[in-house]
A and B are shown apart, each in its own frame.
Chain A
Amino acid sequence: MPANIDLKDIERKAYTSFHKDGIVDIVIGFCAIVFGIIFYYEPAMYFFFIGLFIAATPMYILMKNSITVPRIGLVRFKPERQERIRQLLLVIVSITVLAVILTNAFWVMSMMKALPRSLIDFLDHYYMIYFGVILSAILVIGAYLAELRRFYAYGLATLVAFTSLHFIDVPGKLGLGLAIPGLVMLLYGIVMLLKFLRDYPIVKGSTAGSAGGH
């Protein structure tokens, strides 16, 4: 009999087990690839990402309800855990909005020649590092708040991809910078999903609507 039941560890295991299906990786990776393709071919259409992320939410819920819940069941976490998720969404939205505002302000001000030439040249030269750091920060903060450790690796992969592309002379760097880590997430998510489907077949004799069998 355990002398001290580690309730935090049990809660963390319950939480991480609900996310070992790779669905969040697949959805974010897919969005990053689509966004990367849009950026590669038509950078001016960047505002499409808002619609993409709005579409991603029902896609995520649909996949969770049809794949995860019949296999691993459904759990509602305590308000403290839900608060962390709310914080995560708030941080992601805040950083994204701030980055979009700053980028647009820089663009408008540089068009109006309201910025010093040296600053324009600096930001124009290092824009890949700028975006790489912002996106990596979002992923690392996400990894911390969501307690999904693999997102630290995605954050690092994003920073490496953007930094490497800074030194390589190829067209559509921003699009590639998004698509490469997106592909990493998508592929790893698919591997996780296949493993999840193998390890957790649908429970025989149970349905989502009649889970309480006792």
Chain B
Amino acid sequence: MEPGTGLPVDDIDRLIHEPARLMIMAYLYVVDSADFIFLMRQTGLTWGNLSAHMSKLEAAGYIEVAKDFVDKKPHTMLRLTDKGRDAFRQYRKRMKGVLDSLPD
């Protein structure tokens, strides 16, 4: 419980909780993998902004870089790791718990 709030917000993963990173995680959760441009277009983030958030998620072990081939050329793809998928599932569950615990 966070002091004074009475809500179990300490359990919330603050790395995912940031809106831009939450969007990135949500998009990568629903697809198998996507490249940098696709995530930039879908989230509406700038190249630099997205890059900074991706670095944080990669450092946490939530995303991984994979190589794919387009026209026989290597193409950098990004996907959630098992740890990232699990963290996102936990985040959703806990957020739901926090919001459900609020009085009407």
Q: Say whether A75 faces chain B, with CB atoms less than 8 Å apart.
A: yes
Known contacts A75-B31, A208-B73; A213/B92 CB under 8 A:
no
Residues of chain A lying within 8 A (CB to CB) of residue B37: 69-74, 203, 206, 211
Majority SS of interface residues in chain B? Answer: helix
**1/0 contact trace for A53-94 toward B, CB 8 Å?**
000000000000100011111111111000000000000000
Q: Say whether A11 faces chain B, with CB atoms less than 8 Å apart.
A: yes
Q: Say whether A214 faces chain B, with CB atoms less than 8 Å apart.
A: yes
A67 to chain B, nearest CB (A): 13
Determine whether the beta carbon of A213 is less than 8 Å from that of B75: no
Q: In chain A, what residue has the closest Cβ to B25?
A: A5
Determine whether the beta carbon of B70 is less than 8 Å from that of A65: yes
Determine whether the beta carbon of A73 is less than 8 Å from that of B39: yes
B7 to chain A, nearest CB (A): 13
Determine whether the beta carbon of A75 is less than 8 Å from that of B26: no
B78 to chain A, nearest CB (A): 7
- Taking a contact as CB atoms closer than 8 A, the residue among B26, B55, B75 that contacts A74 in the complex is B75
Determine whether the beta carbon of A203 is less than 8 Å from that of B40: yes
Chain A interface residue count, CB cutoff 8 Å, equals: 34
A7 to B31: give the CA distance in the assembly, Å.
Answer: 10
**Which of B35, B37, B47 has the most CB atoms of chain A within a 10 A radius of its CB?**
B37
Q: Say whether A4 faces chain B, with CB atoms less than 8 Å apart.
A: yes
Determine whether the beta carbon of A77 is less than 8 Å from that of B32: yes
A46 to chain B, nearest CB (A): 33
A7 to B34: give the CA distance in the assembly, Å.
Answer: 16
- Taking a contact as CB atoms closer than 8 A, the residue among B31, B47, B65 that contacts A77 in the complex is B31
**Which of A8, A71, A208 has the most CB atoms of chain B within a 10 A radius of its CB?**
A208
**Which of B30, B32, B41 has the most CB atoms of chain A within a 10 A radius of its CB?**
B30
Known contacts A65-B70, A73-B36; A211/B29 CB under 8 A:
no
Q: Say whether A13 faces chain B, with CB atoms less than 8 Å apart.
A: yes
Determine whether the beta carbon of B41 is less than 8 Å from that of A78: no
A13 to chain B, nearest CB (A): 7
Q: Say whether B76 faces chain A, with CB atoms less than 8 Å apart.
A: yes
Determine whether the beta carbon of A17 is less than 8 Å from that of B42: yes
A205 to B76: give the CA distance in the assembly, Å.
Answer: 15
A208 to B41: give the CA distance in the assembly, Å.
Answer: 14
Residues of chain B lying within 8 A (CB to CB) of residue A70: 37
A208 to B74: give the CA distance in the assembly, Å.
Answer: 8
Known contacts A76-B68, A208-B70; A13/B35 CB under 8 A:
no
Q: Say whether A52 faces chain B, with CB atoms less than 8 Å apart.
A: no
A70 to B27: give the CA distance in the assembly, Å.
Answer: 19
A-B contact pairs, 8 of them (CB 8 A): A10-B27, A17-B41, A75-B33, A76-B31, A209-B74, A211-B35, A214-B36, A214-B55
Residues of A at the B interface (CB closer than 8 Å) are: 1, 3-5, 7-8, 10-11, 13-14, 17, 65, 69-79, 200, 203, 205-206, 208-214
